[in-house]
């Protein structure tokens, strides 16, 4: 499943990512506490007119650059629960509730691409 972020002014796709990475990014945004929780929660909903304004996108990008990226090593993945692992994603689907967080992750490359999107877009809607 793919999540697309559509620029609010140009209607162009500015970020194209799989659901498994996107959920981890949204929860990373939540952990930064730079947006209201309701706003962050809405980012999980596609095709509902949800997204970020340009100012919110810049705020998120700045927070990820300042708080997450410096602490995330090249070989690490950030999991849904905020923990980090150096274990490669072997595409195992975890079905036990205690391990669901392992199904979702974002690595440094994905987070950097998301930050660049947030720094250059005119805000976005989640589709």
Domain definitions of the chain by residue range: 2-126
> Can you give the pTM of this predicted structure?
0.90
**pLDDT at residue number 99:** 64
- Cα–Cα distance measured from residue 8 to residue 19, given in angstroms and rounded to the nearest whole number: 21
Query: What is the mean pLDDT of the segment spanning 38-42?
Result: 97
SS3 label, residue 123: coil
What percentage of the chain exceeds 90 in pLDDT? 74
Query: What is the mean pLDDT of the segment spanning 33-45?
Result: 96
Query: What is the mean pLDDT of the segment spanning 12-21?
Result: 95
């Amino acid at each position: 499943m793919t999540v697309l972020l559509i620029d609010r002014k140009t209607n162009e796709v500015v970020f194209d990512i799989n659901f498994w990475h996107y959920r981890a990014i949204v929860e990373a945004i939540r952990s930064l506490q730079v947006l209201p929780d309701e706003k962050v929660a809405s980012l999980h909903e596609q095709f509902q007119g949800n997204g970020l304004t340009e100012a919110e996108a810049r705020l998120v990008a700045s927070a990820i650059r300042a708080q997450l990226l410096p602490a995330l090593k090249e070989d690490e993945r950030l999991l849904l629960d905020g923990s980090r692992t150096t274990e490669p994603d072997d595409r195992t689907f975890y079905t036990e509730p205690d391990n669901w967080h392992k199904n979702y992750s974002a690595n440094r490359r994905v987070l950097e691409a998301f930050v660049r999107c947030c720094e250059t877009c005119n805000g976005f809607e989640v589709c």
